[in-house]
Chains A and B, each alone.
Chain A
Amino acid sequence: MAETERVGEVIEASTAGFTAQCYELYQLPPLGNLVKTGDSVAELYGIVCNAATTSLEPGRRPIARGRDEDSEEAIYQSSPQLAKLLRSEFGVLVVGHKEGDKLYQHLPPRPARIHGFVYQCSPGEVKDFGKSFDFLNIILNAHLPVPAEELVAASLRLMSQAHDDRRAFLVAAGKELAVLLSGDLNRLNAILGGLSYD
């Protein structure tokens, strides 16, 4: 099994999603990225649906420090404690799970575990996951901090990179969306508009 990149650690988890914290500030996976967590018994797959860098203590909001600095990096150099006071975390929407060898694109029986490691999915895994488009329905109907259309477009853009024929994959995904959103043309158009890649 290849060593896949670890991108964070679970700090909150429920059936529909989990939140993970990055080990380094700003080393966030991109919006729409496919990530996974869990062990060989039950692996959960999810799409990064939100990312934020906030103060560790909820009551203590960051204050501006750059008045006398020349650049943004200089602020961090002058205040090294910032790395300890801020944290970067990202939210993940669970869209599938793997039991043994079989991949399912519906909600898992049990949520992720706290302190579980979150890994970047390999291109092979992304390609395998993209063989079915059932996960799109989960995204479109979920309660999300960002508009669902943005998330769908972002995740498909990223997923297409794992395929040799990117256009064919996007057309197939587009057709699936046309069926799912047959009653809501505006949403469909918003997503299709975001599916270009150059």
Chain B
Amino acid sequence: MTERLGIVVSGSLNKGVEVRLDSSTSIEDMAVGRFVTIEGEKRRFFGMITDVSLGVTDQALTVIPPDVSDPFIAEVLAGTSTFGTLHVSPSLVIGGDADTILEGPQPVKTIPGHFSAVKLATQEDVELVFGTEDEKRFFIGNPLDMEVKLCLNLEELVKRSNGIFGKSGTGKTFLTRILLIGMLQKSRAVNLVFDMHNEYGWAGTREGGPPVKALKQLFPSRVAVFTLDEENARHRGVSTDGVVKIGYDEIEPEDITLLRQTLNLTDLAVEAVYQLYRKFGRSWIQDTLDLKVDQGLPEGLSVHEGTLLNLQRGLATVRRLPFIEPHSPANAVKAIMEHLDRGTNVVLEFGRYRDITAYILVANMLSRRIYAHYQSRVEKADAAGNENMRPQPLVITIEEAHKFLNPEVAGQTIFGTIAREMRKYNVTLLVIDQRPSGIDSEVMSQMGTKVTCLLDNDRDIDSVLAGVSGRNELKSVLAKLAAKQQALIFGHAVPMPVAFQPREYGSAQSYRDFAPPKDAEKDIEKLWD
């Protein structure tokens, strides 16, 4: 039985309740983001501390402070004339109601009465709200200052697109790895990861330590690693399941549209691309680059000279990408789709090609084609009335999401479409970004669940919290997260927002904890190096 912290003295449903701390509770032990329960007259409430403040019974104490060098006076005044106050946002009703007994925790529609007792939440309370580890729930970490395991409902998570945000260096990559493993283990969804910095396939970097194992090392039979840079993969000792090369003749006008900013193309140049494609067909890139301005343009083309030069410059940049060839031998999309259909997750490494142009081009191209496949298969399945013909739910993971989803291009890219169409064709996104204010607000509003590490830019914080109820209180929790190893998760997949410390990733014990029980013996030998 936990000790009482204090009692509710005022508040409202919209703004949360004020709790006056008992004199025996030290204000310095209270922290924003911790969970508390409130024992109302008829119901038990569950909520989070969102602010901590000091109060006095007489304002004169702030103007003429007493002599606190005398420990007797200090002790007498603590908790009586001077006291601490917590601001608590109750989010759920966890007991006392007929509904909560039948259906579990319910959202709050009322608040506890005056002088209701407030206590720190216990392990049992947290498990009641968030559930325990089972086939659908994955252990992602611990609520702040608690030992209990916080579990995330993965089935709910993959029903929508989701986002992971945070300043660079706050641990987004570790969190993403944890979530990818969760999806791998506990949901039917299969993942396609566009791995710009080579962090998710075989191994990942760790500040001040040896590399950490990534998906393929932990789940060799369930993950395939493709690469754009075969040489680099060999150097790093990464075993790959396929090499991706892109042919000029595979690039379509929509792929170039998204590259407008990175290639510095003018709007006219982008429009010209469609003209040129109509004229030249699949060989349009080669043919456009072959055009000599001073020799005059072929029939039917009306492109301004300066525009053509601008476009040629941009296309030349694309052609210089090392993995672009005039004609690609294998069909990368087909190979990847075969893996996805088998339920194997695919990580596409970019090797040395970390240029943003390369990333945008490849991610966009492959996603467009895979999405088109998914669309046609879902439509066929629906027409035939056969659920089994539907492809596996797919989650596409992309980094630097603001390059793909900023307001200028969100309407035109495949990622904007996927985000808006939710799960219509069984494809959702997992976006990772450090500048969420760069993402179109409509796309942000479509995200089911958001996980965010520390953000310090007001605009970024506002864009992540836009439309979330209780956003002012969450803002103070978010701003007070530690720079590393703390995150806030809220949205569809959790019953209420929770600040947590992600589970450990990188030690031998943590790898053992990830491995599913039946594979544990096989993997343990491998893990002991």
Give me the interface of A with B, judged by CB distance under 8 Å: 167, 170-171, 174-175, 177-179, 182-183, 185, 188-189, 192, 195-196
Contacts and interface: CB of A to CB of B under 8 A. Distances in A.
B76 A189 contact: no
A192 B57 CA distance: 17
Given A175-B23, A192-B76, 11 more contacts: A167-B72, A174-B76, A175-B76, A177-B76, A178-B77, A179-B80, A182-B80, A185-B61, A185-B64, A185-B66, A188-B81
B58 interface: yes
A176 to B, nearest CB: 8
A175 B79 contact: yes
B80 A171 contact: no
11 contacts: A170-B72, A171-B75, A174-B72, A175-B23, A178-B77, A179-B80, A182-B81, A185-B64, A185-B66, A189-B66, A192-B73
Given A175-B23, A189-B66, A182 B76 contact: no
Contacts of A196: 72
A1 to B, nearest CB: 37
A96 B116 CA distance: 33
Contact of B80 (A167, A178, A183): A178
Contact of B58 (A171, A174, A183, A192): A183
Contacts of A188: 81
Interface of B: 23, 57-58, 60-61, 64, 66, 72-73, 75-77, 79-81
A192 to B, nearest CB: 6
B79 to A, nearest CB: 7
B58 A185 contact: yes
A153 to B, nearest CB: 13
B72 A182 contact: no
A175 B82 CA distance: 11
B26 to A, nearest CB: 15
Contacts of A167: 72
A5 B188 CA distance: 88
A177 B23 CA distance: 14
B6 to A, nearest CB: 15
A193 to B, nearest CB: 8
Nearest to A191: B76
A193 B60 CA distance: 18
B87 to A, nearest CB: 22
Given A175-B23, A182-B58, A195 B72 contact: yes
A195 B75 CA distance: 13
Contacts of A174: 72-73, 75-76
Contacts of B61: 185
Contacts of B73: 174, 192
A174 B79 CA distance: 11
A185 B77 CA distance: 11
Contacts of B77: 178
A177 B76 CA distance: 9
B60 A185 contact: yes
B63 to A, nearest CB: 10
Nearest to A193: B73
Nearest to A171: B75
Nearest to B57: A182
B201 to A, nearest CB: 63
A183 B77 CA distance: 13
Nearest to B76: A174
A197 to B, nearest CB: 10
B210 to A, nearest CB: 55
A189 to B, nearest CB: 7
Contacts of A182: 57-58, 80-81
